[in-house]
Amino acid sequence: MKHSQTYTFSRSAALSLVASIAFALLTLACFQLRLDLATAAFLYLISIVLLSLQGSFLLSAVFSLIAVGCLAYYFAPPIFSFQVGDPLNAVAIIAFLTTSAVITHLVSRARKSAEGLRQQANLLNLTHDTIFVRDMDNVITYWNRGAEELYGRTAEEVVGKVTTHQLLQTVFPAPLDEIDAELLHTGRWEGELVHTKADGTHVVVASGWSLQRDEQSLDCRKSWRAAVGRTE
């Protein structure tokens, strides 16, 4: 835990130093080229976005405020003063600050969401159960380590490339249409399936399917989650 905190602090410090140098060089270049306020603000905004992709929301917010100070001091007449004489320039600086705040917030949320999904995937890889996820077209979107061990195929070989039924040559205990209908109606289905592994051998699995619904989309965008366990 202490090592992780030390690493996080060191990374933040290094990122702050690099960002400070980059901001200084960017400000110098923009000033030497005599860029107008709008162009300089656009370049600062790009820098803020790149920074938010690497750092925390707090760090991005701090540099957004620094950028506002630079815009007011170097690019909004009268220069070398934090006083902004033209109301339109003041509006432009406020718009820049608002835009950078919104973008950094959205990027921060996306980073947290991606990190959460990555942690969930890591946890699923720790289990000995065979778990894979497929979309409504039966194309595999996730394939855990248990699935790799059971079926002899890596995630790189199957994710996004093949459908489960094509890959595993599934033999169902009932017509697939009936199974799909039950899954869509109840959200779950359980039963025994026969699958074919990479080496051509067959394996009988006790399969449990659960339906993962997207609350913000139509029914046709539902995804399926299949958790598969060995049967002796």
Each residue of 24-69: pLDDT tens digit? 999 999 999 999 999 999 999 998 888 888 767 778 888 889 999 9
Rounded CA-CA distance 16/22 in Å is 10
How many whole angstroms separate alpha carbon 68 and alpha carbon 73? 9
Query: 1.20.1560.10, 3.40.50.1400, 3.40.50.920, 3.30.450.20: which CATH number matches 128-230?
Result: 3.30.450.20
Percent of all residues in the chain with a pLDDT value above 70, rounded to a whole number: 83
Phi and psi at 214, nearest 5°, equal -95, 110
Is-above-0.75 flag for pTM?
A: no
Per-residue three-class SS string for 190-221? EEEEEEECCCCCEEEEEEEEEEECCCCCCHHH
Lookup result for tokens 């946890």: 123
Measured distance CA(73)–CA(80) in Å, rounded: 5
Q: Tell me the C-alpha distance between 83 and 101, whole Å.
A: 22
Q: Cα(219)–Cα(216) distance, rounded to whole angstroms?
A: 10
pLDDT in tens, 117-158: 677 767 666 667 788 888 878 888 888 888 888 889 998 888
- Separation between Cα atoms, residue 11 and residue 133, nearest integer Å: 35
For the chain, domain boundaries: 2-122, 128-230
